[in-house]
Structure 1
Amino acid sequence: MSLWTRIFGERRSPAQPRASFQNAGGGIVINTPQQLEEALRAGSLTTSGAMVTPDKAMRVAAVYACVRIRSGVVANMPLHIKRRVDDRTRKDASDHPLWSIFRRRPNRWQTPSQFKRMLTAHLLLRGNAYAMIVRSRGEVKELIPLHPDRVECKQLDDLALEYTYTRKDGRKVKLAQGEVFHLVGLTLDGVHGVSVIAYARETIGLSLVMEEHGAAMFRNGARVSMVLKHPEKLGKEGLEFLKASLDDYRSGGESEGKALILEEGMSTEQIAMTSEDAQWIESRKFSRSDIAMFFGVPPHMIGDTEKSTSWGTGIDSQTQGFVTFSAEDDLTTWEETINRDLVADNDNDIYARFNRAALVKGDIKVRWEAHVKALQWGVMSPNEIRALEDLNPRDDGDIFYPPPNTAGGDKKEKDDGDEPATAA
C-alpha cells in the first residue's frame, strides 16, 4: 500500500485531485466528541470573552494583513535549486527533481506560489506547517500539504520525530520523520513551533470584542450625537409617536438627509464625542499596532501611518527593517528545511536558495542602479544582467568590465596621457 493510499485512501484521477481535506479554512477541525472536548480544554477563550481560533483571528483586519504580507513575500520570491560545482562555482540544478517541485508544480493542483503561501500562513498562525513527501525510487515527486490541526508531532526515545495524521474519517496514520516536510517557527523545545495566535490571543480577542461592540453600537444607534428636550412631561402616546418618527427618520431611504420636524416646543442639543468613544477608538489603534508587533510587520504596511516606530524614522527604513528581520527569517526557515527534509544525503552539493534580488523587482530605479554598479565594478557581465531581466544574451556579452580606479586602469590612463609625441 502506497503512502498516499495510507493517508487519503484510493487515489483519484488527475482531473479530480483530492484536496478537500483543506476546506477547514483555518479553523479547528473536529470530527469526534473527544476532539471537541480537547478543543474546549485548549484555552481558546480569552478574558475578554472572545473565542480566538486561527480562523476567527483572520477576520481581524490587522491579522489578515500581517499574514497576507509575510506569506506573500515567500510566495512571490523565486526559489532556486542550486548545485555546487566546486568551491567557487555554483549553477542552477534545473535537472534535479526539486527544481520541478518548486518552480513548476509541487503537486497536481497547486502552483509553487500557492503552496508556499499556504504553508507560510500555517506557519504564522500555528507555528508549524506540514506536507507529506511522496517519493518514487528515492526522488521527491509531490508535496501534499497537511492541515496542522490534523497533525500531531512527538519526539521518540531515540530522538527521531513521529507524526500522527488524523484522516477525515477519524482514522489515524503514523508517518515517519522522513515522510514529512515540517516547517517550524519560533520554538521553545526544538520540536514544536510556537503559535502566534496562542500568545497574541488576548490582544486579538480584545480586537474582536471591540469590532463586535462597534458594529452593534452603529447598528443600533447606541451613540447619539444629540438629545431632544421637551419643556414638559411627554405622555405615553406622544412618546410612542416620537419614537416612530425617529425610527422612520433614521431608517434612511427617502428620509436620508431631510430635516427632523419637532413639535410641542421640543428642541435639540448637540453632544460631543464621549470619553468612552474616544477611548474605544484609541484602543482599536493600540490593538492594531500590538498585532503588527506580534507578527513582526511594520505598522505602516498594514495601514497604520500615524507615527514613526522603532522600525525606523522613515517608511523606507521601516520597510528595510521588515526585509531584514521578518522576511529573512521566513526565507531562511524554508531554505534550511528543504535542505534537511528533501535533499538526499548523497546530494550534498544540492541546496535551496531564494533569489532575494526579487525584493526590488517592482522598483525599477533601484533595480537598474544596482545593475549599473554590478557592471561598473565587474561583479556581473552584461549577459548575466540580461538574464535577470529575462532578456536574451547578446554577442560579446560575457565580458567583465574592469573596475574603475584600479591599478590597471590608472596605468592605462597614465600611459595614454604621458606618451610623448613622435616627430613627423
Structure 2
Amino acid sequence: MKFTEKVKLLFKNNMDDYIRAFITGDDLDNPSYGDALMDPSTALKYTAVFACNKVLAETFACMPAMLYRKDQKGEREAVNDLAIYDILHYKPNEEMSPFNFKEACMTSLNLGGNSVCERLVNGKGQLVGLYPYQHAFVDISRNPSNKKLIYTIRDGISKKELTRDQIFHVPNLSLDGIVGLSPISYASSAIRLGMSYEQFGVNFYRNGANPSGSFDIPGELGEEAFNRLKIELKHNYSGLKRTGTPMLLEGGMKFTPHTINPVDAQLLESKSFQAEDICRIYRVPQHLIQLLGHSTNNNIEHQSLEFVMYTMLPIFKRWEENINMQLLTDKQRAAGYYIEFKIDALLRGDAVSRATAYAQGRQWGWLSVNDIRKLENMSAIPNGDIYTQPLNMGEAGKIQVADQTKAIVDSIYKIITNYNES
C-alpha cells in the first residue's frame, strides 16, 4: 500500500484501531472480513446492521422535538419563541434539513456510540445552529491541567480542538457516563461472522461450489471430444439466456442434475441466526427488517408496541435530557422551558383503535370534541370545548340515576309549560 493510502486509512479509522492493526499484522492492502477494521462503513456493508440502523435512525428523525413552557401551576403550553425550536424544526445548519440532521446524529450514535455536534453561534455567542461530525473523526480526552473535556476533530490532514461548551454531545451506553460505547466494536465478532456468511454465499456460486449437474459417459473421451464438449456446453447451454434449452447428448452420455443448495449447507439458517443476533444487539423487532420467520399477524402488533416502549422511549429520553441540559440555558430552564419529543404518532394505532379510545375519553369526560380533532390534526369547531359526563355519574350516597332522570324531565317540563303560558 502506498504511503498516501495509508495516511487516508489513518484518518478514516480510529487511531487505536490503526495501531492495533499494525501490531497484529493485519493486511491493510486486502483485508478479509475476519481481520478488517470494524469501522462504521465496514459494518454497514452487513445488511442486518444497515437495516437496524435505518429503522432506528428514520424512526427517530420522523418525530418532532416540541418546545414547551410550564408555568408555576404546572400547566404547560407549546411555544416556539426560542432559537432551539427553529434549529430542530427548520434549519439545523446551512447544509442539512432537520430530518437529515437527526438521521445523521442517530446513525453516529448507533455505530460509534456517540453523537457529537459543533455548536454554531453568532457574534453575541447565541446558539444559531448545530453541525454533526462522524464519531470516527472525533477523539475525546481530558485536559491534564484543568481536567476538562477536549474534543479533537480531525478533518483530512487538519484538526481542531473544541471544549465542552462548544460541543453538543450525546453518549450511548457508557462505562463512565461520558464517552459512549460503540455497538459495532463490542459486537464486531457477530458482525464479522454475519458478513462471512454473506461472503460465503457469494463464493458458493462464483467459485462453482454448486454445480448444476454431472455427465455420465461410458468409456473415456478423447482430448478432441472433451474439448468439443466443453465448447458446446459453454456456447449453447450456459447463461441465463439459454436456460431451458434442450440438451443434445450422444454416445450413450447421460446428464444427472444436482440438487445441492445453500439450505443443505446450512447457509440460510446461519445467516438468519446472525441477523437475529444483530436485532438483539440493537433491540429491533425482527419483522422490522423483514425477518418474518417467527412473526404472525397477532404478535406483530404487540412487538411494534414493545419497540416503542423498550427501544424508542429510552432513545427519546436520552436525547431530551441532553438537549435540555446542554442547549438550554439556566435562565431558560428556570423559566419553565424544556424539549420533549412528540411520539403520539408511534402510539396512535389504527383508525378503529383510535376511534374507540376517543369515544371512551369523550364519554367519561376527559376529552372534548376539539381535543379529539386536535389529536387528528383537524381544526377546532365552535362549542367544541365542552366536556360532558354520563348521567349516572354522581357522588356515592347522593342523588340516584332515577332521581337524576326525573329531575331533568321535570326541568324540561317546567321550561315548556312556562313558555306556553307566556
In the alignment, which of 92, 108, 115 is matched to residue 101 of structure 2? Answer: 115
Instruction: Show the counterpart of 2:310.
Output: 325
In the alignment, which of 138, 147, 151 is matched to residue 151 of structure 1? Answer: 138
Displacement of 1:255: 2.1
Instruction: Show the counterpart of 1:162.
Output: 150
- Report the CA distance shift for 1:159/1:167 in structure 2 as closer, same or farther (over 3 A): same
Q: For 2:263 and 2:307, how far apart are their aligned partners in 1?
A: 35
Q: For 1:159 and 1:402, how far apart are their aligned partners in 2?
A: 61
- Report the CA distance shift for 1:35/1:300 in structure 2 as closer, same or farther (over 3 A): closer
Deviates more, 1:63-72 or 1:158-167: 158-167
Q: For 2:170 and 2:305, how far apart are their aligned partners in 1?
A: 25
Residue 298 (structure 1) aligned with residue 285 (structure 2): yes
Q: For 2:279 and 2:237, how far apart are their aligned partners in 1?
A: 37
Displacement of 1:90: 0.6
Q: For 1:208 and 1:125, how far apart are their aligned partners in 2?
A: 16
**Structure 2 unaligned residues grouped into runs of 5+:** 418-422
TM-score (norm 1): 0.83
- Report the CA distance shift for 1:352/1:262 in structure 2 as closer, same or farther (over 3 A): same
Instruction: Show the counterpart of 2:420.
Output: none
Q: Secondary structure at the match of 1:407?
A: coil
Instruction: Show the counterpart of 1:353.
Output: 340
- Report the CA distance shift for 1:31/1:258 in structure 2 as closer, same or farther (over 3 A): closer
Displacement of 1:159: 5.0
Q: For 2:116 and 2:86, how far apart are their aligned partners in 1?
A: 19
- Report the CA distance shift for 1:74/1:274 in structure 2 as closer, same or farther (over 3 A): closer
- Check whether the contact 1:297–1:326 (CA below 8 A) recurs between aligned residues: yes
Q: Secondary structure at the match of 2:330?
A: coil
Q: For 2:372 and 2:261, how far apart are their aligned partners in 1?
A: 61
- Report the CA distance shift for 1:179/1:411 in structure 2 as closer, same or farther (over 3 A): farther
Q: Secondary structure at the match of 1:231?
A: coil
Q: For 1:391 and 1:35, how far apart are their aligned partners in 2?
A: 49
* Amino acid aligned to 2:178: V
- Report the CA distance shift for 1:187/1:195 in structure 2 as closer, same or farther (over 3 A): same
- Check whether the contact 2:33–2:195 (CA below 8 A) recurs between aligned residues: no
* Amino acid aligned to 1:114: N
TM-score (norm 2): 0.83
CA-to-aligned-CA distance 1:379-422 (integer Å, 9 cap, x gap): 33322332232222211222223367531699484334345979
Q: For 2:33 and 2:102, how far apart are their aligned partners in 1?
A: 34
In the alignment, which of 388, 399, 405 is matched to residue 417 of structure 1? Answer: 405
Displacement of 1:304: 1.1
* Amino acid aligned to 2:280: M
Sequence identity (%): 29
**Residues 148-227 of structure 1: pairs in structure 2 closer than 5 A:** 148-156=135-143, 160-168=148-156, 170-227=157-214
CA-to-aligned-CA distance 1:77-136 (integer Å, 9 cap, x gap): 121011111242011121111111111111122221111111001100110111111123
Deviates more, 1:35-44 or 1:227-236: 35-44
Count of matched residue pairs: 394
- Check whether the contact 2:218–2:252 (CA below 8 A) recurs between aligned residues: yes
- Check whether the contact 1:292–1:298 (CA below 8 A) recurs between aligned residues: yes
Displacement of 1:228: 1.2
- Report the CA distance shift for 1:267/1:75 in structure 2 as closer, same or farther (over 3 A): same
Q: For 1:167 and 1:48, how far apart are their aligned partners in 2?
A: 28
Q: For 1:60 and 1:370, how far apart are their aligned partners in 2?
A: 41
Displacement of 1:156: 4.1
Compare CA radii of gyration and give the structure with the larger one.
2
Deviates more, 1:274-283 or 1:342-351: 274-283
Q: For 1:114 and 1:308, how far apart are their aligned partners in 2?
A: 31
Q: CA RMSD in A?
A: 3.1
Q: Secondary structure at the match of 1:95?
A: coil
- Report the CA distance shift for 1:367/1:98 in structure 2 as closer, same or farther (over 3 A): farther
Q: Secondary structure at the match of 1:395?
A: coil
**Structure 1 unaligned residues grouped into runs of 5+:** 1-27
- Report the CA distance shift for 1:46/1:291 in structure 2 as closer, same or farther (over 3 A): farther
Residue 133 (structure 1) aligned with residue 119 (structure 2): yes
Displacement of 1:146: 1.5
* Amino acid aligned to 1:384: D
